[in-house]
Chain A
Amino acid sequence: MTTGGSSPRGADEVREALVAAAARLLGHSAPERISGRRLAEEAGVNYGLVHHYFGGKEAVLREGFGRLTESYAVGEDLDTSGRVEPFSLLRWPEFVRAVAYASLSGEADRTHVTHPTLDVAVEQTLETRAGEDETEIRVDVGIATVFHLARCLFATTMDPWIAKGGEALDLAEEVEERLVLILRSLSLGLDPGTAARGDREPFRRSSVPG
């Protein structure tokens, strides 16, 4: 997909076209299935330029991931407010899909998928849960993030089913609110079962009998 009619020219344009192409393709395919030729075709540039400017497709894909990550992080406005809306990734399906494709193909490491909001989430949670075990806090943020990413990746699987519950029209909305409470309980290390009941002050997980 080229912009306008003419092919990209010059180092800057060609590099930009290739990185943008990678960012687009990563949301639709496993990284190992994206060839250098496919990248060149999507960018509307000569195949040889992939090697000329990047030394190979790996570097293009890495920068493509960086691009996706950046647009997500900037969209979150992380620097100014520091607060992230629940299930914010619903607005960044391409990022979620790219992470899923890379993870499913076992390439999460090699393609250097980064997730800047994880760092922010950890920092905030460490502050809120000062004095608690740091590894446990990191694990809890990880579980919460799995939940967040899954909520977004499987939205088309889940949403129609949630809506189907409905003698009450607002059931879907109420369920969504509960899911937000559960999400919060997960990163705070609170009891998700209590959150699911709608209790806004779920007690500590460790105080749950059993």
Chain B
Amino acid sequence: MDVDPDEEPSSRTALLDAAIRLMSDRAPSTVTGRELAEEAGVNYGLVHYYFESSGDLLSAARDRHGSRLLADLMAGGTRPIPLDQIVSDREIFGFAAHVALEGGDDDADVSRPVFDAMLRLAAEGDPDGDPVHHRATVAAIVLLQLGWPVFVEHNATGLGLDLEADGEVIRERFFTVLESLYRSIGVEAER
């Protein structure tokens, strides 16, 4: 389903944005239609009007999430996601994690517009580069971006690190890793 991020906000997009907000904190299966309607400020009946099943809703929310990410954070696919956003914006990546946990990504035909946009950045930045290198680098960056908000706390605790006291070192080394990966495909990442 195509979603134009510039279109007038409708109750459908309001519902999808509400779904993304709620599902960044909680598993999609725990979000009820009534909660969704309330969060979106629309009539409950519209939930079923727009979405036949929870699967429909989830896949539409996933598409909306991808196009928003591309439009807002990647400036339409012309630049990588600023590094600061990765460590500060839990909503973006919390949603992706919950979708993955509930098998919302199991369909092999699902398109990955964000991954593809990053691959195009690599093709521009490193025109004669090796496709294996490009794809592996994009995969690594995406995995680090997706995994960071989910696992950083668990790992820090398990390693005897203090997210407050050691926060600067953690952040600095994480950014250096991402910058190195980006640089290898000829892309400069903003902090």
Give A contacts to B, CB under 8 Å.
29-30, 33, 97, 99-104, 106, 108-109, 113-115, 118-119, 122, 135-136, 138-143, 145-147, 149-151, 153-154, 156-158, 160-162, 165, 168, 171, 174-175, 178-179, 182, 186, 191-194, 196-198, 205, 208, 210
Most interface-central of B106, B135, B152 (chain A CB within 10 A) = B135
The residues of B that contact A153 with a CB separation of less than 8 Å are 97, 100-101, 146-147, 150
| Chain A residues touching B, majority SS | helix
Closest to A140 in B: B173
Contact A142 B155 (CB under 8 A): yes
Contact B159 A157 (CB under 8 A): no
Decide yes or no whether B160 CB sits under 8 A from chain A.
Answer: yes
Decide yes or no whether B166 CB sits under 8 A from chain A.
Answer: yes
9 closest A-B pairs by beta carbon, nearest first, are A150-B147, A193-B184, A178-B136, A193-B180, A160-B108, A150-B143, A142-B155, A157-B105, A115-B158
The residues of A that contact B109 with a CB separation of less than 8 Å are 160
Most interface-central of B139, B140, B173, B184 (chain A CB within 10 A) = B140
Interface residues on B, range: 35 or more
Closest to A174 in B: B132
New A-B pairs, 7, CB < 8 Å, besides A106-B153, A143-B173, A146-B147: A100-B151, A143-B177, A147-B144, A149-B155, A175-B139, A178-B140, A205-B180
Most interface-central of B139, B157, B166 (chain A CB within 10 A) = B139
Contact A142 B152 (CB under 8 A): yes
* CB-contact partner of A182 in B96, B140, B169, B170, under 8 A: B140
Contact A104 B133 (CB under 8 A): no
Contact B147 A29 (CB under 8 A): no
The residues of B that contact A135 with a CB separation of less than 8 Å are 161, 166, 169
The residues of A that contact B105 with a CB separation of less than 8 Å are 154, 156-157
Could you pull out 13 A-B pairs where Cβ atoms are within 8 angstroms? A104-B25, A108-B153, A113-B154, A140-B173, A142-B170, A149-B155, A150-B144, A153-B100, A161-B115, A186-B177, A196-B185, A197-B130, A205-B177
